[in-house]
Structure 1
Amino acid sequence: MGLSVNNNTAAYNTYRNLTTTQGQLSKSLEKLSSGYRINRAADDAAGLAISEGLRSQIQGLTQATRNSQDAINVVQTAEGALSESTSILQRMRTLAVQASSQGSINDDAKGNIQSEVVQLKAELDRIATTTKFNGKALLDGTFNSTFQVGANAGETIAVNVGGAMSASGLGVNGVDMTAVGAYTNGAAAAGKVSTANATSAANSELTITGVAGATFASTGATVSAFQGLKGSISFGGKTFDLGSVDYSGVTTTADALTKLNDSAKTALGLTGTAPFTSTQTTLVFQVNEAVTGYTGTAGAALSDSAANVDNATPVFAAGTGASDAITALDKAIKTVSTTRANLGAVQNRLEHTIANLGTATENLTASESSIRDVDMANEMTKFTSKQILAQAGTAMLAQAKNLPQSVLSLLQG
């Protein structure tokens, strides 16, 4: 190669190699400082696309794990509250067994037992109403939701608490330890005064105890017959004495019946139409066929305001006494226990879900790491090599730039 001063080819060649080495050294430094083999799409276009897809899966699985844990927290909150509901129902059942012992429990004791039962039912309702998770009611019968437990659409688990866990929802709102079963229209209550709202022991709203038979004249009921009524009627923990009605100024049996009905409604707190259904417009007393001197139809009402009342569904249908309360409470306890068992099964499933999500996250993270993360040892080896080449290239560039000076020797000679 000839000597020239206009173009130092050796220097150009050295500079080009040095520039390439510097670029490689810079990329190596970037990988070592970031920890990633792929910092931009140009580093590995296909690898970047694959790793981004894996990252989406990993982040989705991580959130799904948190969602699953939230689901467990919801289930534990509901089950914890139901545990206390079970304790309440067990206590109510114990009281029902106690109240069923007719030989050792009098009416006053039953009233005291019923007072506790009323408070326990109120607490059942409070628990069912106030048990919430992030503002969502869990035990009022409305909670039926799904939880996203996977990284992809449709990967959900449903959690359904079931029906309302309130006293009415469990069928124990009508439990009344003071009830002994209602009189049935006809011979079963012969010689007694009954009501059209108390048609059978299993379907009653009112309980009449100790009612003396009333004697009517052969022409039918008289005001004096109403005045001779004795005994009491109980409802919702309140008692009405049949002999306490003031019939002053009453001249007809219709007025006497109205007075009796109104007095009973006031004493028992049955104002307005409650607790009767739409076809039950008033509290109606009636006499039965076997009453002395009464020739009417068995169970015929003394007032026509009882129309269709026998076909109505009583609101207080479960209030049939301590013995029936045991049956109702057994059913309620079974309902709550079944609900708790279902929630426990869901919680076990969710725990397995979380374990599976953890394994999947670990494996996908390993896959993403193998594509995107830099091998520090290998990259450090490359970095050292490029660093040496950069130093050598710098030194050689210094030498190459001095090559044209040899031309001066020719010029000086």
Structure 2
Amino acid sequence: MGLSLVNNTASLTAQNNLNKTAASLNTSLERLSTGLKINKGADGPAALVISEQQRAQITGLQAATDNTNKAVAVVQTGEGALNEMNSLLNKVRSLAVDSANTGVNDANAQAANQAEITNILSSVDRISSTTQFGSKKLLDGSAGVSGTATVPSTVTVQKATTDTQAGSYAIAVTAAATKAHTSAAAQTLPLAADENLTVNGVQIQLKAGSSQQQVVDKINSYKDQTGVSADIDTVNGNKTRLISNQFGTAAKISVVSDTAVAAGSTGFGTSVTSAAGTDVVGTINGTAATGVGNTLTATSGVAQGLSVSVGLDATLSATGADKYTSASTASASLGNVNVVDNSLKFQIGANAGQSVSFSFDKVDTSSLGTGASSLYSNLSQISTANGTESLKVIDQAISDVSNLRGRIGAFQSNTLESNANNLQTSLQNTTASESVVRDTDFASEIANFTKAQTQLQAGTTVLGNANQLTSLVASLLRG
């Protein structure tokens, strides 16, 4: 190539290569100073897309791990409260066992036991209503599946479980539940002489001269022990009537007197009279439900686990049956129960849809120990007057609380804690993958930096030499 004064091609070539070397050096400096080999889209478009997706996953995994740990704290709060309930119920059980020892305890001892039981049960209710995490209450039923009846005066929702799906369910009764009931033969009171009346194995001493109302009041004073109440049937001849406190076939009456039926007697006579109630028959959501007493429970379908009780129907008052019949069969449909699911939802994954739910059952005294006794329908009703029946309810209440604690423990151990371990593994591997794509390999990049730095120094020297070529033209002109 000849010498040219106007265009110095060698210099332009040196400048071009020097610019490339400078750009490479700047890239190395940027990578070394930031620790990242992908700092902008131009550094690697595909790598940038991949790494940003992985970064999003990493932040999601970190948040999900925090969420899982918070969820553990929530369920541990509920489990801690239930642990205290178990301790209180064990105290109640001890008192009930002591109260059943009627051969030793006098009225004052029984009253003292009842006072302590009442105090403990109020503590159970307080724990149920006040246990919360932040502003969320856990044990009052608001953090689980619950139902509301459209006819609250007739139908009461006992409980809905985690098996019950949200929705509206029709309640229908084809045969009403009844309490056990029997009436005395025609009698003329006041009592002509002292009379001993035995009701469900409990002897009731009646004094001579007692009026019918006094007889009724005396029988009612033993209702916690006998499970039977008395009234005057004004519809059917003003007879003294006995009615069990509870509904269903488990509710029974056995009554016998030591005085024959005659004027001036209670009219129950010396032959044992027995009676039993009947269980409700009906459907929930059109499917046959299990009836125990006046409670219907769905055992299959979308309403599974839903229990409702059918109350007394005042429309039967014309026959006096309103005292012992749960509902009129003239109108089988009793309305609907609306079930809502307020279970606590926990986002325990990095992506949409990766959540779990947990339902805390309502655990106050009116919800515990149901269905265990024909005398007491739930824990709130127990009395030292009948320690044996009280023990049945208390044992069921302890089982209810223990089962919920077991379900909480399984959820914490098998769902939350195992998920946290899995999230940590996923986070570790995703971070490692993102590091391969985006992080600077310092060993390799230092080598590139050193190479570019050396090339820059050499290129600068070469450029200086190339710029000296035009001076050769001047030397030729001088000759």
Residues 1:293 and 2:260 aligned together: no
1:211 and 1:405 map into 2 onto residues whose CA distance is 141
Give 1:233 shift.
5.6
Aligned ranges 1:106-255 → 2 under 5 Å: 106-144=106-144, 212-215=206-209, 234=221
Q: TM-score, normalised by structure 1?
A: 0.65
Which runs of 5 or more structure 1 residues have no equivalent in the other structure? 146-159, 164-182, 194-199, 203-207, 217-223, 238-253, 255-275, 278-287
Give 1:232 shift.
8.7
Give 1:142 shift.
3.3
- Partner of residue 358, structure 1: 424
Residues 1:323 and 2:337 aligned together: no
Paired residue secondary structure (1:5):
coil
- Partner of residue 383, structure 1: 449
- Partner of residue 340, structure 1: 405
Name the CA shift for 1:105/1:399 in 2 (closer, same or farther; >3 Å): same
1:131 and 1:236 map into 2 onto residues whose CA distance is 35
What amino acid maps onto 2:127 in structure 1?
I
Identify the structure with the greater strand proportion.
2
1:132 and 1:22 map into 2 onto residues whose CA distance is 64
Q: Do 2:35 and 2:440's aligned partners in 1 also have CA atoms closer than 8 Å?
A: yes
Name the CA shift for 1:225/1:72 in 2 (closer, same or farther; >3 Å): closer
- Partner of residue 436, structure 2: 370
What amino acid maps onto 2:474 in structure 1?
L
Q: Do 1:25 and 1:386's aligned partners in 2 also have CA atoms closer than 8 Å?
A: yes
Give 1:311 shift.
3.0
| Residues 55-105 of structure 1: CA deviation (Å, up to 9, x unaligned) | 222222221111111221111111100000000100000000001101110
Which runs of 5 or more structure 2 residues have no equivalent in the other structure? 146-159, 164-179, 191-198, 225-233, 235-244, 247-256, 274-316, 328-373
Q: Do 1:14 and 1:393's aligned partners in 2 also have CA atoms closer than 8 Å?
A: yes
State percent identity of aligned pairs: 37
Residues 1:73 and 2:73 aligned together: yes
Name the CA shift for 1:356/1:201 in 2 (closer, same or farther; >3 Å): farther
Q: Do 1:18 and 1:393's aligned partners in 2 also have CA atoms closer than 8 Å?
A: yes
1:341 and 1:191 map into 2 onto residues whose CA distance is 59
Q: Do 2:261 and 2:267's aligned partners in 1 also have CA atoms closer than 8 Å?
A: no
Name the CA shift for 1:142/1:290 in 2 (closer, same or farther; >3 Å): farther
- Partner of residue 408, structure 1: 474
1:31 and 1:236 map into 2 onto residues whose CA distance is 87
Paired residue secondary structure (1:308):
helix
Structure 1, 328-337 or 134-143: larger mean CA deviation:
134-143
What amino acid maps onto 2:462 in structure 1?
M
- Partner of residue 96, structure 1: 96
Residues 1:308 and 2:278 aligned together: no
1:51 and 1:363 map into 2 onto residues whose CA distance is 13
Name the CA shift for 1:230/1:83 in 2 (closer, same or farther; >3 Å): closer
1:306 and 1:186 map into 2 onto residues whose CA distance is 12
Name the CA shift for 1:389/1:309 in 2 (closer, same or farther; >3 Å): same
| Residues 366-412 of structure 1: CA deviation (Å, up to 9, x unaligned) | 11111111111100110111011112212222222122112222222
Larger Rg: 1
Give 1:43 shift.
1.4
Q: Do 2:86 and 2:401's aligned partners in 1 also have CA atoms closer than 8 Å?
A: yes
- Quote the RMSD (CA, aligned, Å): 4.1
Name the CA shift for 1:402/1:226 in 2 (closer, same or farther; >3 Å): closer
- Partner of residue 169, structure 1: none
Paired residue secondary structure (2:79):
helix
Aligned residue-pair number: 314
Q: TM-score, normalised by structure 2?
A: 0.57
What amino acid maps onto 1:338 in structure 2?
N
Name the CA shift for 1:403/1:235 in 2 (closer, same or farther; >3 Å): farther
Name the CA shift for 1:70/1:46 in 2 (closer, same or farther; >3 Å): same
